[in-house]
Amino acid sequence: MSKKVGFVGAGFVGAEAARQVMSEGIANVALVDIAGDMAKGKALDLTEAAPILKTAKNAIGGSDYKLLQGSDVIVVTAGIPRKPGMSRDDLLKTNILITKEVCNGIKKYAPGSIVIMVTNPLDAIVYVAQKFLEGTCKVIGMAGALDSARFRTFLSMETGVSSDDIQAMVLGSHGDAMVPLVSSASISGIPAKELINDKRLDEIVERTQKGGGEIVALLKTGSAYYAPGISVASMVKAIILDENKIIPTCTQLNGEYGESGIFMGVPAILGSNGVKKIIEVSLSEKEKNLWGNSLDHVKELMNVSDSIIKNEKIQF
């Protein structure tokens, strides 16, 4: 039976991810968006590209969550970006309310699916989505796949070596508190520290942490979507095709790294059941400090999220 992937949010990131999933022949796709005609139009556009892509896959679109029926995996990008004058708490509150509506639709039409959250602030939204979908769906988040791709890109730029030959990973939260792992970064097996001096490595780490902001500053009217879309598509592919690939994933810790109940970006084996196993890696002292800061940041987001849910009397 042909696999199906649902996308809630047919904006730039969702549409790019859907295009990648279809172009690789991974699955049929369904685009759901409050702007139903836009979703329907993008789905038709994707379907019309199928003969050129030589794929038998197709796309449907609209505003009805019923389109998600039969989805094996659902990607959620629905949400609003932070606007001028909007506090982080206001952004979080708005996107929690949007996430609740989305999760209600998923519970009704696609129980049992694996849900990949992309909506920001990612770490908080994955946490609340799991609350809304508890006992119905497995929930994970996409951040580390994108952050790691940026880290590898900057290491490639610095060394002049193909990014294919660079192994590097980013853990922790999504944003300034992320943890690029310099200690284990390597270039064809050669430790990055042997090819790049500490000062440049520190600068590459900082650029990685601010990678999203760099693109926002350049675009001026939007944010990144090619790399985020392709990053989430790589997670979808690993799940649909049961690839058992290690991909940094925002998932709930159950004793790993000495933490439980918190959602953090960690190396995880992704396959047909979603996260099959969390991999614990050794950290340098500097990375342990960054990891601690990242934990504190995520715990604060969780507390703020719980307060919003309580104050707004949001029901699960």
* Mean pLDDT score, 25-34: 98
Helix orientation angle between 198-209 and 144-159, rounded to the nearest 10 degrees: 140
Contact call for residues 248 and 169 (beta carbons, < 8 A): yes
pLDDT digits (tens, 9 = 90+) for 282-300: 999 999 999 999 999 999 9
Helix (H) or strand (E) holding 171: strand 170-172
Does CATH number 3.90.110.10 belong to domain 144-302?
Answer: yes
- What the block records as the tokens of 159 is 């060394």
Q: Do 4-143 and 144-302 show the same overall fold?
A: no
Helix (H) or strand (E) holding 271: strand 260-271
* Residue 299 to residue 124: CA distance in whole angstroms: 9
Radius of gyration of the chain (CA): 19
Question: Would the pLDDT of 167 be above 80?
Answer: yes
pLDDT digits (tens, 9 = 90+) for 104-130: 999 999 999 999 999 999 999 999 999
* Mean pLDDT score, 166-181: 96
More confident residue, 276 or 88: 276
**What are the backbone angles phi and psi of residue 151, rounded to the nearest 5°?**
-60, -45
pTM beyond cutoff 0.95 = yes
Cβ-count burial of 61 within 10 angstroms (0-12 exposed, 13-18 middle, 19+ buried)? buried
* Mean pLDDT score, 139-145: 98
Residue 83: pLDDT band (50, 70, 90) is confident
Question: Would the pLDDT of 225 be above 90?
Answer: yes
User: DSSP letter at 121?
Assistant: S
Domain assignments of the chain as residue spans, ordered by start = 4-143, 144-302
Tell me, what's the pLDDT at 27?
A: 98
Tell me, what's the pLDDT at 174?
A: 92
Q: Which residues are tagged catalytic?
A: 174
Direct distance between the N- and C-terminal alpha carbons of the chain, in angstroms, rounded to an integer: 33
* Mean pLDDT score, 238-259: 98
* Residue 263 to residue 252: CA distance in whole angstroms: 4
* Residue 228 to residue 202: CA distance in whole angstroms: 24
Contact call for residues 263 and 252 (beta carbons, < 8 A): yes
Question: Would the pLDDT of 84 be above 90?
Answer: no
Tell me, what's the pLDDT at 245?
A: 98
* Residue 284 to residue 92: CA distance in whole angstroms: 32
Give the 3-state secondary structure of residue 291. Answer: helix
Question: Would the pLDDT of 87 be above 80?
Answer: no
Q: How far is CA 147 from CA 9, 150, 158, 216, 253, in A?
A: 21, 5, 17, 15, 20
Question: Would the pLDDT of 148 be above 80?
Answer: yes
* Residue 18 to residue 40: CA distance in whole angstroms: 13
Amino acid at 113: S
* Mean pLDDT score, 206-225: 93
- What the block records as the tokens of 70 is 């039969």
- Range list of β-strands (E), 9-152: 28-32, 59-62, 73-76, 114-117, 138-141
The hierarchical CATH code for the domain 4-143 is 3.40.50.720
Shortest CA distance to 139 belongs to which of 282, 8, 307?
8
